[in-house]
Amino acid sequence: MKRELDQVQEDERIPAKRGRKASKETRRLQLIEATIDSLAKRGFSETTMADVADGAGLSRGIVNFHFESKDKLLVATLQHMAEEYAGHWRNAIGRAGEKAADQLMALVRCDFDRAICTKRKLAAWCAFWGEAKSRPTYQALCGSRDAAYRAVMTDLCQQLIDEEGYALDADEMALAIEALLEGLWLRLMLGTEGVTRDSARHTAETILRISFPKHYPAAS
């Protein structure tokens, strides 16, 4: 009887533990989202732990409990954004089907989805890029993301080149497409007149059609 009672009590404790864990994860996400907001509004150097706490509607002690320092908070925010971005483009490729041409188009288009392409997130990315040169941790996080992305982009370009014999270099094409996408992101972040998510996506699609015309024929 005692063993059965102990098991019941243990079973009752498990949901409570899971609830506390979920609450902790929720709070971390709240603080990370508030950090993104602050970076977009104030920039890197002007963002403080107090700003983040106020933006999240939480006490400053909660911020210190979860992250201990501004540097750890910013690293966690960059890690979150990098993982979100990588998961987004990998899912886009996975949904595109078997053809390399469809996967490459999906890879380009997904950069302009609302899930990741918002002014606040673009501003936060720019804030981190501006600091990456002097911060090895940021370089490592951004570099690993860029290396994986570039490898996939290069492989897809190479497949299209092999299929139709384009006089192109896959490495150069991947770099050119990636530079175009980053430039369009910058114009979106700056609010350049006439540049919207839709127009930026259309521009990127046009470059693919010009570069790989046999795979992406012009619309009649």
Residue 19's pLDDT is: 43
Arithmetic mean of pLDDT, 64-77: 89
How does the average pLDDT of the chain come out, rounded?
86
- Predicted pLDDT at 219: 66
Please check whether residues 203 and 130 belong to one and the same domain. yes
For 123-177, what is each residue's pLDDT tens digit? 999 888 887 777 777 777 776 668 889 999 999 999 999 999 999 999 999 999 9
198 and 114 inside one domain: yes
Q: What is the pLDDT of residue 132?
A: 72
Whether residue 85 sits in one domain with residue 37: no
Q: Residue 107 in contact with residue 153, Cβ under 8 Å?
A: yes
Domain check: are 181 and 216 in the same one? yes
Q: Report whether 213 contacts 98 (CB < 8 A).
A: no
Tell me the per-residue pLDDT of 54-66, one tens digit each, with 9 for 90 and over: 998 888 888 888 8
- The residue-averaged pLDDT of 61-75 equals 88
**One domain for residues 174 and 112:** yes
Higher pLDDT, 133 or 29: 29
Distance CA(208)–CA(217), nearest Å, equals: 10
The verdict on 142 and 206 lying in the same domain is yes
CATH at residue 25: 1.10.10.60
Q: Are residues 113 and 43 in the same domain?
A: no
Q: What pLDDT score does 105 carry? A: 98
Q: E strand or H helix at 29, and its extent?
A: helix 2-42
* pTM (global) more than 0.75: yes
Other CB atoms within a 10 A radius of the CB of residue 166 amount to 17
Provide mean pLDDT across the span 175-196.
Answer: 94
Rounded-to-integer distance, Cα 103 and Cα 25, Å? 33
- The owner of tokens 């010009």 is 210
The whole-number pLDDT of residue 6 equals 42
Name the domain boundary from 52, 68, 84. Answer: 68
Contact predicate 169/157, CB 8 Å: no
**Higher per-residue pLDDT: 131 or 115:** 115
Shared domain check, 78 and 51: no
| 98 and 185 part of one domain | yes
> How high is the pLDDT of residue 138?
74
Above pLDDT 70, what percent of the chain? Answer: 87
| 137 and 162 fall within a common domain | yes
Residue range of the domain that includes 61: 1-68
Which residue, of 47, 68, 89, is where some domain finishes? 68
CATH of the domain at 88: 1.10.357.10
Pair 84, 19 in one domain: no
The CA distance from 192 to 214, in Å, is 32
Distances, alpha carbon 149 to alpha carbons 20, 28, 133, 185, 208, in Å: 36, 27, 20, 16, 17
Looking at residue 144, its pLDDT comes to 66
pLDDT on residue 27: 87
Q: Where are the alpha helices (DSSP H) in 70-196?
A: 70-96, 100-109, 119-132, 136-164, 170-190
Do 47 and 9 lie in a common domain?
yes
Task: Quote the percentage of the chain above a pLDDT of 90.
Answer: 65
Listed range (37-41, 56-60, 92-96, 207-211) with the worst mean pLDDT:
56-60
